[in-house]
Homo-oligomer: A and B are copies of this chain.
Amino acid sequence: MPQSRVTIRDVAKHAGVSHQTVSRVINNSQHVAPKTRKKVQASIVELDYRPNAIARSMALGRTCLLACLAPNLTDFTFASLVEGAEVEARKHGYFLISSSAPTPDILQHLLNELIDSRRVSGLIVINPYVDERYSYLPENFPLVFIGSHAREPGISSVTLDDELAGYLAVQHLLSLGHRDIAMVTGVMIEDCAQKRCIGFEKALKEAGITHTASQVIQGDWSATSGRDAFMALTETGKVPSAIFAQNDRMAIGVMQSARDMGISVPEQLSVIGLDDLPLASYFAPPLTTIRQDIIKIGSKAAQLLIANIEEPSHPTHRLTINPELIVRKSTAPFNHQKEEPIELSHNQI
């Protein structure tokens, strides 16, 4: 029944007014007599009229559509950013297209497609600089970055305070008496990985610890890379007493690898991650981690974007969201008696 092909002119005819008057009623214009308004509203209800959003976009030149581009949509962090942005967008009457851009080519293509075709009126890009993801950035187009701050002027951005996050993680380990602390990093071309390293180093430096490069191993955010990193670490012969993994997935990989080698967490090895995945407390042992409020980051990004769309002179912002330490069971005070080298040659599982 409501196969609503009713247009504004049908309503006008039905109410005995001009289509423009109907438009005024829809848009709550002041210049409509109360009597007329009632009449038109009655017709709208009777005919079950709904304004056509496309026609509206066309006339106004605004689409009330945003897009969010992420490397993928399934990683918990990306999915949460999208959800945060989506919920916020809807509060303001916008919808959100989400699109996965796993490669620079695809990202570039999507940027062109979405912007040049004027399909969306604003864009959120997650992890914008990975792989030099694009060569061409539109000018004067509302754009917000998540995950790293814009090098270009005029682009707002929202990130976790990654430096602080790294700092807090290491500080927690230091406070437990650990001195021999290793780190598994994310992909180092990403700003957030670099910032987390800076925080790591800053905390160690403040504690008067000079760490050697061998204690920093590069991962790729995956649990597998956490496993590999820990195995590489043990092959060097000197196993640290604590490890900061730059995300939870890698931390979990480290824990599994340690378990396989018969190294017990946290008695012999403290592990701290970053993210606070929903299941973080269900691993064995429950994972100590640095929590980031991902929903908030996505939501703030959408806010900034919409402000920029609706008021182009809106000043650009670079927000950082504060991390929070969540202590569970994968970290423990440094145990001096275990200072003897750990026997690794046999699988003790």
B80 near A74 with CB under 8 A, answer yes
A112 to B127, alpha carbons, bound, how many Å? 34
Give A57's nearest chain B residue, CB to CB.
B54
Return chain B residues, CB-CB under 8 Å to A97: 65, 95-98
Question: A72 interface residue, CB < 8 Å from B?
Answer: yes
Question: A130 interface residue, CB < 8 Å from B?
Answer: no
Task: Given A50-B117, A63-B54, A83-B74, answer yes or no on A96-B95 (Cβ-Cβ < 8 Å).
Answer: no
Which residue of the partner chain, among B80, B118, B282, contacts A53 with CB atoms under 8 Å? B118
* A224-258 with Cβ < 8 A to chain B: 249, 252-253, 256
A4 near B116 with CB under 8 A, answer yes
A79 near B73 with CB under 8 A, answer yes
Shortest CB-to-CB span from A238 to chain B, Å, is 25
Question: A259 interface residue, CB < 8 Å from B?
Answer: yes
How big is chain A's contact interface, by range? 35 or more
Return chain B residues, CB-CB under 8 Å to A146: none
Return chain B residues, CB-CB under 8 Å to A87: 100
A259 to B53, alpha carbons, bound, how many Å? 55
Task: Given A54-B57, A98-B96, A117-B52, answer yes or no on A3-B74 (Cβ-Cβ < 8 Å).
Answer: no
Question: A23 interface residue, CB < 8 Å from B?
Answer: no
Return chain B residues, CB-CB under 8 Å to A282: 223, 252-253, 256, 283
A279 near B252 with CB under 8 A, answer yes
Return chain B residues, CB-CB under 8 Å to A86: 73, 98-100
Q: Among the interface residues A82, A95, A140, which one has the most CB atoms of the partner chain B within 10 A?
A: A95
Say what secondary structure dominates the interface of chain A. Answer: mixed
Question: A284 interface residue, CB < 8 Å from B?
Answer: yes
Give A52's nearest chain B residue, CB to CB.
B118
A102 to B115, alpha carbons, bound, how many Å? 30
Return chain B residues, CB-CB under 8 Å to A114: 95
Task: Given A55-B58, A116-B4, A284-B283, answer yes or no on A72-B63 (Cβ-Cβ < 8 Å).
Answer: no
Question: A311 interface residue, CB < 8 Å from B?
Answer: no
Question: A312 interface residue, CB < 8 Å from B?
Answer: no
Question: A2 interface residue, CB < 8 Å from B?
Answer: yes
Q: Among the interface residues A2, A79, A82, A90, which one has the most CB atoms of the partner chain B within 10 A?
A: A79
Return chain B residues, CB-CB under 8 Å to A1: 139
Interface string of A82-118 (1 = CB under 8 A from B): 1100110010000111111000000000001010111
Return chain B residues, CB-CB under 8 Å to A95: 67, 97, 99, 114, 119
Q: Give me 20 A-to-B residue pairs in the complex whose CB atoms sit less than 8 angstroms apart, sorted by A's number.
A: A1-B139, A3-B138, A53-B119, A73-B82, A83-B100, A86-B98, A86-B99, A86-B100, A95-B99, A95-B114, A95-B119, A96-B97, A97-B98, A98-B98, A223-B278, A252-B282, A256-B282, A256-B284, A282-B283, A283-B283
Residues of A within 8 A of B (CB): 1-4, 50-55, 57-58, 63, 65, 67, 72-74, 76, 79-80, 82-83, 86-87, 90, 95-100, 112, 114, 116-119, 138-140, 223, 249, 252-253, 256, 259, 277-279, 282-284
Minimum-distance CB pairs A-B, first 10: A50-B116, A53-B117, A284-B284, A79-B79, A73-B83, A53-B119, A74-B79, A252-B282, A95-B97, A58-B58
